[in-house]
């Protein structure tokens, strides 16, 4: 991209910069303006619960950030960079844009709160001139001045200002802690009520208002591109700022609870000024300092997030990426991103409602924090070898942070939570549409799925026996064929079996010795087969290179199933117009029988599949072992959507005079197995004089969608070609030989 340096070279900022940016945002507007109100409404223990819950979300997030930051070089973009390099640019851009918006709105939030420090001025004006002066006369110029300073002087000037305002902040808090209680007319005994958990129904409403107080923990991370050593500065600065904020919050709430009655805490948003020594001056000055410093932290971070997103070319319009990514000077200050951030902040400054803006910020920051915790958890669970952070958290801490983030969002406002996630989904779809070549959702859980699959495989191997729990039997079928591109029907059969109730693995057979050439051929063929596999197809596909058909079969029947259970069925296929293909199948039947596999031989006809004509299952004398497996396979195949409007029809060839007995036995078997076969689809067939089995079956099933027939081992020993050729006159046939009788109850 011309004119854009996509490689952030970093700057000279260190641990103190991260710490000061974080702590100046943590000890901000909410501390001065809303903690008194919260203490009056909920009591000391209610606000302590808010602080604990807030830090139960933010501390895991701080640990996750520290961990991820020590695993790889964190460049410009802070949280966005971490998310995008962990989840891919599609997810990173989606979360990054919402993160940027919340950071930009935070600028407005802190400027609005900064204006509250001038409450004595507004009160004087109203008393003097008898009309209210709009607070925008302070907030709008303050925003313009701040933006001008940062654009003109850059991050370095912003950090110098932070040193000054943090010094004032510390002084104002010190004067507050040494101040005396304000008990009102009721005396000190009224303060007892402050140490109860009050108004529990309002807890999450107040939590939403107060949560921005905890969002400052990640403010310093946004300076990542300007840090000399992000891997050291981010963990130390972030954790130090988080712990400092936690301690100060608890002390402030305690001081408020012992210093003023609930009524005054609720009514006066600057109650701290009544408690502190020289409070009328020092508390508004401290509020002005902390809110202005928080605004500085936010306006330093937000444009850098936006610039990093643009550098990754995530926006659909190339000119937008170029415009927003452009920087000035050696440190690549995000000039254009500053301007856009200013405009967004200006809109919300004009709105001027602190509580409304706080609620918006809370929701989007909770999404970001939950995502960061999820990244850490997935890296722990997936255990990729490349994940070797020097700073390590615990997987359960990260998982807890993620769950609490989502839970808190729903408790604050379920409707707004759903709308927030819906907005993110829509945003993701837009990003995906314009960035199809980038890593997306498919790659997010790859490592975790690998670990989960591995654990399930081992568990099932330890606790599953192919010969036990016969009533829970399901097919785990394997098939091998050289004709993957010429004959699609066997792939369709495997797809039907593996759709809902079974598992299927299909091997494309490549005859030859394993070499670089045959390996490259197998990779090419596998890619083609996977690409042509339709969406929703549960069949697993692989290739097999072997010098002979027999050796290939020997390999696949010993290969483990991806389902976690042992393979229990082998499916062969041949073209019914080429009966000579049966030869090598029959030569290997005994090899497969040695492993106690069920055997199916699929004879495909040249005619298209006729689904509406049903699945015909034929039961003959000698099929005692095969019958239940044949019926079960018919039911399993019928569950696929391809057979949605079809049916199973069962034919039972009965000796003359025993038709009623045979029908009753078959009906009982169907009822016991709860199979979807109506009584009208059960037909008892007897031989007409001089008719062969093939003629009887052909007469009834010539136009069937699929015919299922059993065959016994004795047929293989005699003249099997004659037996299989007897059914050339009907469509597709699945010949079934069960290794043992299956239970369909």
Q: Which domains does the chain have, with CATH numbers?
A: 15-443 (1.20.1740.10), 464-737 (3.40.50.12370)
| SS3 state at 616 | strand
Q: What is the DSSP letter of 28?
A: S
Quick one: tokens of 603? 């004879």
Q: How many CB atoms lie within 10 A of CB 667?
A: 14
Q: Give the Cα separation of 658 and 740 in Å (integer).
A: 26
List, as one string, the DSSP characters of 157-200.
HHHHHHHHHHHHHHHHHHHHHTPPP---TT-GGGGGGGGS---G
Q: Give the Cα separation of 83 and 62 in Å (integer).
A: 14
Quick one: tokens of 253? 């709430």
Q: Give the Cα separation of 602 and 604 in Å (integer).
A: 6
Give residue 521's pLDDT: 92
Crossing angle of helices 136-177/230-257, nearest 10°? 80
The residues, ordered by sequence, that sit 6+ positions from 578 with a Cβ below 8 Å of its Cβ are none
Quick one: tokens of 594? 């040695």
> What's the Cα-to-Cα distance from 163 to each of 23, 239, 276, 371, 598, rounded to whole Å?
11, 19, 23, 31, 78
The residues, ordered by sequence, that sit 6+ positions from 542 with a Cβ below 8 Å of its Cβ are 505, 506, 507, 508, 526
Q: Give the Cα separation of 516 and 465 in Å (integer).
A: 38
**Backbone φ/ψ region at 100: left (φ over 0), alpha (ψ -120 to 50), beta:** alpha
46-94 pLDDT, tens per residue? 999 999 998 888 888 888 877 777 776 666 666 787 777 776 777 778 8
Give residue 479's pLDDT: 93
558-616 pLDDT, tens per residue? 887 776 678 889 999 999 888 888 888 988 998 998 888 999 999 998 888 888 999 99
List, as one string, the DSSP characters of 110-150.
HHHHHHHTTHHHHHHHHHHHSSPPPTHHHHHHHHHHHHHHH
The residues facing 617 across adjacent strands are 650, 708
Quick one: tokens of 605? 């006809």
The residues, ordered by sequence, that sit 6+ positions from 599 with a Cβ below 8 Å of its Cβ are 569, 570, 572, 589, 592, 593, 736, 737, 739
Q: Are 213 and 28 in contact (CB under 8 A)?
A: yes
CA 18 to chain centre: 30
Q: Give the Cα separation of 615 and 633 in Å (integer).
A: 10
Low-confidence ranges of the chain (pLDDT < 50): 1-10, 185-186, 466-467, 469-471
Give residue 304's pLDDT: 84
Q: Are 617 and 629 in contact (CB under 8 A)?
A: no
Return the ∠ at Cα 86 (arms to 229 and 379), rounded to 5°: 100
Q: Are 24 and 294 in contact (CB under 8 A)?
A: yes
Q: Are 22 and 217 in contact (CB under 8 A)?
A: yes
Q: Give the Cα separation of 324 and 341 in Å (integer).
A: 11
Largest CA distance in the chain: 120
List, as one string, the DSSP characters of 431-485.
HHHH-TTS--HHHHTHHHHHHHHHHHHHHHHHH--TTS-GGG---EEEEEES-TT
> What's the Cα-to-Cα distance from 360 to each of 107, 293, 463, 556, rounded to whole Å?
13, 21, 50, 57
């Amino acid at each position: 991209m011309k004119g854009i340096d996509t490689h952030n070279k970093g700057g000279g900022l260190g641990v103190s910069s991260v710490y000061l940016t974080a702590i100046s945002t943590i000890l901000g507007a909410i501390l001065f303006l809303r903690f008194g109100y919260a203490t009056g409404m909920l009591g000391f223990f209610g606000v302590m619960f808010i602080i604990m819950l807030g830090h139960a979300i933010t501390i895991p997030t701080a640990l996750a950030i520290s961990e991820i930051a020590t695993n790889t070089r964190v460049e410009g973009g802070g949280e966005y960079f971490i998310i995008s390099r962990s989840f891919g640019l599609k997810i990173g851009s989606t979360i990054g844009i919402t993160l940027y918006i919340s950071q930009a709105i935070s600028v407005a939030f802190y400027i609005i709160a900064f204006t509250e420090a001038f409450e004595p001025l507004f009160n004087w004006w109203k008393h003097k001139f008898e009309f209210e002066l709009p607070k925008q006369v302070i907030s709008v110029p303050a925003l313009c001045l701040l933006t001008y300073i940062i654009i003109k002087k850059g991050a370095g000037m912003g950090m110098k200002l932070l040193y000054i305002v943090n010094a004032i902040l510390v002084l104002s808090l010190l004067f507050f802690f040494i101040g005396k209680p304000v008990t009102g007319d009721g005396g000190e005994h009224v303060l007892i009520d402050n140490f109860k958990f009050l108004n529990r129904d309002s807890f999450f409403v107040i939590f939403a208002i107060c949560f921005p107080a905890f969002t400052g923990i990640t403010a310093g991370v946004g300076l990542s591109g300007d840090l000399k050593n992000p891997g050291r500065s981010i963990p130390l600065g972030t954790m130090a700022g988080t712990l400092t904020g936690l301690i100060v919050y608890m002390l402030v709430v305690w001081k408020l609870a012992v210093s003023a009655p609930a009524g005054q805490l609720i009514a006066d948003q600057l109650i701290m000024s009544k408690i502190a020594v020289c409070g009328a001056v020092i508390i508004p000055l401290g509020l002005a300092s902390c809110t202005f410093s928080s605004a500085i932290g936010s306006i330093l971070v937000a444009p850098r997030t936006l610039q990093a997103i643009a550098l990754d070319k995530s926006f659909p319009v190339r000119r937008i990426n170029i415009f927003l990514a452009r920087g000035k000077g050696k440190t690549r200050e995000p000039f254009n991103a500053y301007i856009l951030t200013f405009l967004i902040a200006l809109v919300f400054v004009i709105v001027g409602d602190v509580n409304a803006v706080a609620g918006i910020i809370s929701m989007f920051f909770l999404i970001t924090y939950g995502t960061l915790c999820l990244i850490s958890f997935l890296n722990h669970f997936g255990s990729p070898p490349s994940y070797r952070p020097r700073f390590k958290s615990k997987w359960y801490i990260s998982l807890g942070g993620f769950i609490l983030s989502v839970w808190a969002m729903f408790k604050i406002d379920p409707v707004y939570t759903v709308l927030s996630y819906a907005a993110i989904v829509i945003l993701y779809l837009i990003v995906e549409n314009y960035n199809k070549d980038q890593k997306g959702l498919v790659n997010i859980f790859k490592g975790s799925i690998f670990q989960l699959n591995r654990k399930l495989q081992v568990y099932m191997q330890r606790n599953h026996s192919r010969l036990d729990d016969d009533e829970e039997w399901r097919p785990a079928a394997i098939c091998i064929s050289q004709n993957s591109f010429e004959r699609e029907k066997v792939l369709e059969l495997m797809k039907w079996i593996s759709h809902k109730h079974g598992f299927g693995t299909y091997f494309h057979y490549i005859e030859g010795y394993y070499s670089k050439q045959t390996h490259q051929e197998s990779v090419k063929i596998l890619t083609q087969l996977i690409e042509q596999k339709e969406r929703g197809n549960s069949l697993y596909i692989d290739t097999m290179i072997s010098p002979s058909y027999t050796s290939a079969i020997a390999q696949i029947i010993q290969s483990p199933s991806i389902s976690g259970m042992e393979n229990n069925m082998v499916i062969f296929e041949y073209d019914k117009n080429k009966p000579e293909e049966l030869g090598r199948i029959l030569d290997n039947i005994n090899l497969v029988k040695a492993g106690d596999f069920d055997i199916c031989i699929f004879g495909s006809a040249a005619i298209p599949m006729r689904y509406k004509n049903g699945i015909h299952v034929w039961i003959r004398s000698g099929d005692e072992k095969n019958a239940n497996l044949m019926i079960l396979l018919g039911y399993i195949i019928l569950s696929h959507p391809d057979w949605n409007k079809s049916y199973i029809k069962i034919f039972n060839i009965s000796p003359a005079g025993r038709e009623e007995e045979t029908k009753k036995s078959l009906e009982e078997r169907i009822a016991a197995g709860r199979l979807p076969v109506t009584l009208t689809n059960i037909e008892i067939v007897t031989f007409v004089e001089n008719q062969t089995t093939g003629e009887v079956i052909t007469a009834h099933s010539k136009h069937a969608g699929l015919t299922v027939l059993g065959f016994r081992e004795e047929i293989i020993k005699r003249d099997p070609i004659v037996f299989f050729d007897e059914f050339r006159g009907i469509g597709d046939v699945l010949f079934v030989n069960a290794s043992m009788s299956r239970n369909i109850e």
